[in-house]
Amino acid sequence: MNRHYYISDNLDELESVEHELEARGISTEQIHVLSEKDAEVERHHVHDVPPFMKRDVVNVGQLGIAVGVLLAVVVLIGAYLSGMTQSVAGWLPFIFLAVVLIGFCTWEGSLVGLQRPNSAFRQFEPKLREGKHILFVDVTPNQEPLLDQVANLHHLELAGTGTAVPDWWVAVERKWHQFRRMI
């Protein structure tokens, strides 16, 4: 999947774009509107970006996991090389410490990520501060012509492309929304 970014200052137009895309087979879960005006976005009934996605929790959390795994490996290798595993306690305290290090570093990384805007959206911060809205659509190669047709009918400024979420994530999100409607 590919992600296409568009900039607009008109939420009515973005609402119209979303309806047209859905009518042509692009699901709601593939369409998001990023804005600093959350109340207006909600009033226009467009699919907004969840607060969790606005933060860099996942990316920095993954970095935390990597640091934790590295520290865990250092602890386990250090314990082995120093001969401390030959004592009565054996490997258990070192394995426990390694697991705690991985958990702690993941937690710390996620906390740091909560304080940072999502790295995928940093390039749009100046436009968001100007009061503009960012529409981004994740499409398969087969859906790209449909997106181009709809985008050309509206006053949208193409702001670039990027890597989209995996297909399986869109499917999970679609199932989640179906489940929530049933409740």
Those residues with Cβ within 8 angstroms of residue 33's Cβ, 6 or more apart along the chain or in another chain: 11, 14, 18, 41, 46, 47, 48, 49, 133, 134, 135
Question: Side chain identity at 54, as an amino acid letter?
Answer: K
* For range 87-92, the mean pLDDT: 83
Eight-state DSSP code of residue 140: -
Q: How confident is the model at residue 71 (pLDDT cuts 50, 70, 90)?
A: very high
First to last CA, the chain: 30
157: enclosing H helix or E strand: strand 157-163
| CA–CA dist 85, 91 (Å, integer) | 5
The pLDDT value recorded for residue 4 is 92
Domain span including residue 157: 2-54+121-182
Residues 20 and 44 in one domain: yes
Those residues with Cβ within 8 angstroms of residue 68's Cβ, 6 or more apart along the chain or in another chain: 101, 102, 103, 104, 105, 106
| CA–CA dist 130, 12 (Å, integer) | 18
Q: How confident is the model at residue 178 (pLDDT cuts 50, 70, 90)?
A: confident
Q: How confident is the model at residue 100 (pLDDT cuts 50, 70, 90)?
A: very high
The pLDDT value recorded for residue 175 is 87
* For range 161-171, the mean pLDDT: 83
Domains contained in the chain, number: 2
Residues 128 and 177 in one domain: yes
Which of 39-48, 111-120, 157-166 has the highest average model confidence (pLDDT)?
Answer: 111-120
* For range 21-45, the mean pLDDT: 86
165 in Cβ contact with 1 (< 8 Å): yes
Residues 23 and 105 in one domain: no
46 in Cβ contact with 13 (< 8 Å): no
pTM: 0.76
The pLDDT value recorded for residue 166 is 80
Residues 11 and 97 in one domain: no
The pLDDT value recorded for residue 47 is 83
Residues 94 and 170 in one domain: no
Residues 44 and 67 in one domain: no
The pLDDT value recorded for residue 108 is 96
Residues 12 and 63 in one domain: no
| CA–CA dist 2, 139 (Å, integer) | 5
Average pLDDT score, the chain = 89
